[in-house]
Structure 1
Amino acid sequence: MYQLHDIVELRKPHPCGHNAWEITRIGADMKLLCQGCQHSVMLTRHDFDKRFKRVLRTADGQQDRLH
């Protein structure tokens, strides 16, 4: 589904206008880094799974892998 350093899209965009996030930590909490303004946020795994839409780019560089 998703893994560390994947670029993912969430259901709502960040206030800066970008909707691409890099996963920088996976565990009980997920740490995400906005690809627009470099702001980082922590979400619980449950909240992340509710907001997750799709993988835009995998860590190994493949484009547009759907979950």
Structure 2
Amino acid sequence: MEHKYCIGEIVELKKQHPCGSKQWEITRVGADFKIKCLGCEHQVMLPRPKFEKSVKKIIRTIEENS
């Protein structure tokens, strides 16, 4: 089953950001995803197919925050 991503979730990507972090927070969901690096706070927009291919695992979901 495909996971439905939500704003505020923390994901780990397959490739490391130049700052050294692999963890990103999702800040926008739609046809494009906007994600923020948790290491240096750099923000990136990615098309949905590229984002979904690059996600390695979900670290924290919205349900765990409650």
Matched to 2:20, the amino acid is G
Deviation at 1:21, TM superposition (A): 0.2
Alignment pair present for 1:21 and 2:32: no
- Which of structure 1's runs of 4+ aligned residues deviate more than 4 A? none
State TM-score, norm by structure 2: 0.86
Q: 5+ residue gaps in structure 2? A: none
Match of residue 52 from structure 1: 55
- Distance in 2 separating the partners of 1:9 and 1:33: 11
| Deviation of 1:59 (Å) | 2.3
Q: How many residues were matched structurally?
A: 62
> 2:64 aligns to what SS in structure 1?
coil
Residues 1-40 of structure 1 aligned to structure 2 (within 5 Å): 1=3, 2-40=5-43
Extract unaligned runs of 5+ from structure 1: 63-67
Give the superposed CA RMSD: 1.2
* 3-state SS, counterpart of residue 46 of structure 1: helix
Percent identity of paired positions between Structure 1 and Structure 2: 52
- Give the aligned residue type for 2:16: P
More helix by percentage: 2
